């Protein structure tokens, strides 16, 4: 059964495998940590930074909460929630970022992560979330629409991984 949990040392090796799969498969839509950086001290080294991200803006990043998706001992993917709507959220990264490791895609995990993430979002007192999705990312757009996403608009966008592209912006009202 899929669960969304807070980051914890027990799943670091699974997280590293997930990151490696993303890099090996040139995933561009939600690129995680470079697996080369995830050594034995990585969790302890980064813990304060992730904790701080939940309470304040650091390095221009909006406040965000990070979760890992696991099924038993298996590491499945991740989910990030941004609880405010600064310009970076509105015109770049959106309220929610999530991904499923390449070897586990197409089995329903992405839909389940999103369903559970919307419950967590409500617990954070939010009544809507914004999704920013590359127009070519039809799988992500499909899941968003399946869970009630209402298309607001399509705008030109740019980031290093995706280059210049058209971005769809959807609201899900909770």
Ligand X SMILES: CC(C)(COP(=O)(O)OP(=O)(O)OC[C@H]1O[C@@H](n2cnc3c(N)ncnc32)[C@H](O)[C@@H]1OP(=O)(O)O)[C@@H](O)C(=O)NCCC(=O)NCCS
Cβ 133 to ligand X, closest distance in Å? 5
6, 128, 146, 154: which one contacts ligand X (CB under 6 A)? 146
Our CB check for ligand X shows the closer of 62 and 110 to be 110
How many angstroms separate the CA atoms of 71 and 53, rounded? 26
Q: Is residue 117 close enough to count as binding ligand X by CB under 6 A?
A: no
CA 140 to chain centre: 11
Look-up of token digits 């099924």: 71
Cβ 77 to ligand X, closest distance in Å? 6
32, 35, 62, 110: which one contacts ligand X (CB under 6 A)? 110
Look-up of token digits 């813990």: 47
Angle at 88 between CA 141 and CA 159, to 5 degrees: 65
The token pair that represents 173 in the structure block: 């009202």
Q: Is residue 108 close enough to count as binding ligand X by CB under 6 A?
A: yes
Our CB check for ligand X shows the closer of 55 and 72 to be 72
How many angstroms separate the CA atoms of 55 and 69, rounded? 22
CB atoms within 10 A of CB 87: 8
Look-up of token digits 């939010």: 126
Q: Is residue 69 close enough to count as binding ligand X by CB under 6 A?
A: no
* Number of chain residues interacting with ligand X (CB under 6 A): 21
Q: Is residue 67 close enough to count as binding ligand X by CB under 6 A?
A: no
For residue 93, what is the DSSP state?
Answer: I
Our CB check for ligand X shows the closer of 9 and 108 to be 108
The token pair that represents 100 in the structure block: 């499923």
Our CB check for ligand X shows the closer of 47 and 107 to be 107
Q: Is residue 29 close enough to count as binding ligand X by CB under 6 A?
A: yes
Look-up of token digits 């499923």: 100
Q: Is residue 140 close enough to count as binding ligand X by CB under 6 A?
A: yes
Q: Site residues (CB under 6 A) for ligand X?
A: 27, 29-30, 98-100, 105-111, 133, 137-140, 142-143, 146
């Amino acid at each position: 059964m899929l669960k969304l949990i807070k980051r914890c040392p027990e799943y670091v090796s699974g997280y590293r495998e997930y990151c490696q799969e993303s890099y090996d498969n040139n995933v561009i839509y939600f690129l995680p940590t470079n697996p080369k950086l995830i050594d034995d001290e990585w969790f302890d080294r980064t813990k304060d930074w992730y904790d701080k991200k939940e309470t304040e803006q650091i390095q221009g990043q909006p406040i965000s909460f990070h979760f890992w998706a696991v099924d038993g001992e298996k590491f499945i993917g991740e989910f990030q929630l941004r609880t405010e709507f600064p310009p970076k959220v509105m015109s770049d990264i959106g309220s929610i970022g999530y991904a499923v490791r390449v070897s586990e895609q197409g089995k329903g995990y992405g839909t389940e992560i999103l369903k559970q993430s919307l419950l967590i979002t409500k617990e954070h007192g939010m009544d809507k979330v914004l999704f920013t999705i590359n127009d070519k990312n039809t799988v992500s757009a499909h899941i968003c629409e399946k869970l009630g996403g209402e298309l607001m608009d399509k705008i030109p966008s740019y980031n290093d991984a995706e280059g210049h592209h058209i971005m769809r912006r959807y609201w899900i009202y909770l």
